[in-house]
A = this chain, B = another copy of it.
Amino acid sequence: MKPSLPIPVAVLGATGTVGQRFIALLDKHPWFKVVALVSSEKNVGKHYAEAVHWLLPSPIPDWAREMGLKSAEPKAIDGAVIAFSALPSDVARELEPKLAERGIWVCSNASAFRREPDVPILLPEVNAEHIAVLDEQKRRRGWQGGIVTNSNCTSSGLTVALKALDEAFGLQKVFVVSMQAVSGAGYPGVASLDILGNVVPYIGGEEAKVEWEPRKMLGKVEDGGIRLADFVVSAHANRVSVVDGHLVVASLAMRNPPKNAEEAIAAMENYMPPVIARHLPSTPSPVILVRREPDRPQPRLDATTGDGMTTVVGRVRPDPIWDLKFVVVSHNTIRGAAGGAIYNAELLVSQML
């Protein structure tokens, strides 16, 4: 029995850059209605419009402006069925399990639980079947609800492209270098004195995530957990002077490499997501767009493709050492954060509730 629409949801960490994306994307969402906004202690009691340093070109939705901010306690979101979490990792680690225990479905952008074997890192167009491990959460942890996560923003678009190629050719080794937008670091985040006319070749913790999360996302459900996929990743993470949109370049070695770039392009263009992830409100359209121009994709021009949910690939060409080189752009605060978590929630609703 499906819950009746709209489904009441909460946004945790509502004033940050990802929280703002949640608010903007949930405005007019066909299934969800925001009933609670949670923020840090200093904002509790304020109206949303008063507390937020709103950074999006679209205005704050009217329903959000006057909504009062609540503290990070379970009872603050009573009445919500789903909680979208853009909490800092340490706060997430404490609050999210309490919510799951009380029957809330937590769709989290935080990294706190991504390494737990029974917590999936979901990309519905890639690994919708990973929601099966939620049974294990119930069994082992006794939760009435559950926690699903989305990956770090750099891995998300990349992993969609890797999935299509893995399916067709069998991934072995992946070399990736990211050029990441400043919005990925939140607000105030990156100081302008650090990044104006500059590149910072370091983002704390990011390389370890990019070397591990794609392997879990492309892994298999096994014994109530997820077995990592059998390929290795080497990552270099860099911050560049871009507002939104992460660009990643990649070189791949594959088990049965494509004969040429066209074969690889075809694999990506023809990639079919799992059936249960194909017709949700946030399903990207297309899932992967392969551009043929020599100089695309670019973050400023391509990150918003498919309302920011499409993975945009380009410059697919042979690699002189391994097999294939390409470039991928995806929107870090939409596909890589808030939009991804909402897509995850849609999958949960359609399969679990």
Contact = CB atoms under 8 A, between A and B. Distances in A.
11 contacts: A182-B192, A188-B188, A190-B191, A190-B193, A192-B192, A196-B241, A197-B197, A197-B299, A199-B242, A202-B295, A236-B249
Interface in A152-176: 173, 175
Interface stretch (A2-10, A22-30, A314-322): A314-322
A301 B198 contact: yes
Contact of A233 (B211, B233, B295, B320): B320
Total identical chains: 4
Contacts of A302: 57
A182 B199 CA distance: 13
A111 interface: no
A188 B191 contact: yes
Contact of A193 (B175, B182, B199, B202): B182
Given A192-B190, A197-B241, A325-B234, A175 B251 contact: yes
Contacts of A238: 179, 247, 249
Given A177-B236, A189-B193, A195-B196, 18 more contacts: A55-B193, A55-B301, A59-B305, A175-B175, A175-B321, A177-B249, A187-B193, A188-B188, A188-B194, A189-B192, A197-B242, A197-B243, A199-B240, A199-B298, A201-B295, A201-B315, A234-B320, A243-B300
Contact of A321 (B202, B232, B298, B305): B232
Interface string A274-309: 000000000000000000001111111111110000
Interface size class of A (residues with CB under 8 A): 35 or more
B199 A196 contact: no
A200 interface: yes
Contacts of A298: 198-201
A238 B241 CA distance: 13
Pick the 6 closest A-B CB pairs, nearest first.
A188-B191, A202-B295, A198-B300, A177-B177, A241-B241, A236-B249
